[in-house]
Amino acid sequence: MSAIEEKAQTFAQASEMYLKVKEEIQSFIVGQDEVIDHVLWSIFGGGHVLLEGLPGLGKTMLIKTISECLDLSFSRIQFTPDIMPSDITGTMLLQPDAEGKQQFSFHEGPLFANIVLADEINRATPKTQSALLEAMGEKTVTIMGETKQMEKPFFVLATQNPIDMEGTYPLPEAQTDRFMCKVNVSYPTKQELLEIVKRTTGPVTKKLQVVARKEDVIKLQQLAKEILVSDEVIEFAVKIISASHPNTEDASESVRNYVQYGSGPRGVQSLISMAKARAMCLGRYHVSIGDLKQAAFPVLRHRLILNFEGEANGVAPDEIIEEILAAAGEIQ
């Protein structure tokens, strides 16, 4: 077998594993096909995810299901206004050693897991929210000058409620930018509601199977990095990011009218990484323009900062992203 054939077989196996993982998740989670895709692409692309949706739509259950199917350690942090940074990162405790002397030892917080569910992250104070920044960006935690490395793989999957804003602290742009993508969890259809009732109120509870292991996830992350990206595709990604800024000549009318700030460099990095993961999951070893267009919505959704007029008119970021993609396609 030639090197090219061996590589093609590797990508085919990666796609097969992805489909098995998705199938197992969907055996428990009803609907949300696009949500599952976006979360898995982010995980295999090595990024964090911000999920937004109404209460009771299964955001927490989805994340827990993914952790079980991938055999990853799972930790849930319920964010509240009184939670402190040390409550999530851990702290140094005085404990006696073998000789009876008191020494500081590190007690790990719930942040030390492969998948961390930051539930209702916008209910925590900015001080506690900022404690996540180092872990999300550098995959380390510093306590009393001592740096602790997070175990690989490490993902923060955060949820927030778009309504009931009382007692919440909006995430600052610096932190939202740390998330590879923002996924909107939609309300189920009548048929999906019927299936949810059947699955959750009956006498039999579905037992999830482990489809992939921790080592498989790390291998898929590395394989996604090896996906080929042509100069043409990179240029198109750069055009998309450039067209998101109102002060550039590439900007569409909606961007000029309703956007205050567009996406930064981390946006184009996330766009390429997520497009690579999508290509790998589909069994291809190159990124297409179509991959970029599919990844653009979750990647840019939280990176477009609307101005007052955009907020007042209730402009949806997805509508602007559609115009951005159209404008990028017309730019020569």
> 118-162: per-residue pLDDT in tens?
888 888 887 787 777 778 877 877 777 777 788 888 888 888 877
Higher pLDDT residue, 301 or 107? Answer: 301
pLDDT (mean) for 198-215: 77
Whole-number percent of the chain with pLDDT over 90: 8
Residues 6+ apart with CB under 8 A from 31: 188, 189, 192, 195
Average predicted confidence (pLDDT) for the chain: 82
CA dihedral 158, 112, 219, 138 (to 10 degrees): 80
Confidence class for position 332, pLDDT limits 50, 70, 90: very low
pTM of the model: 0.85
Contact 47, 73 (CB under 8 A): no
Residue 297: per-residue pLDDT = 92
As a whole number of angstroms, the distance between CA 211 and CA 69 comes to 5
Q: Which domains does the chain have, with CATH numbers?
A: 31-199 (3.40.50.300), 227-332 (1.10.8.80)
Phi, psi of 139 (to 5 degrees): 60, 40
| pLDDT band at residue 163 under the 50/70/90 scheme | low
pLDDT digits (tens, 9 = 90+) for 270-311: 999 999 999 988 888 889 999 999 999 999 998 888 888 888
Would you tell me how many other CB atoms lie within 10 Å of the CB of residue 2? 7
Tokens of 228: 């080929």
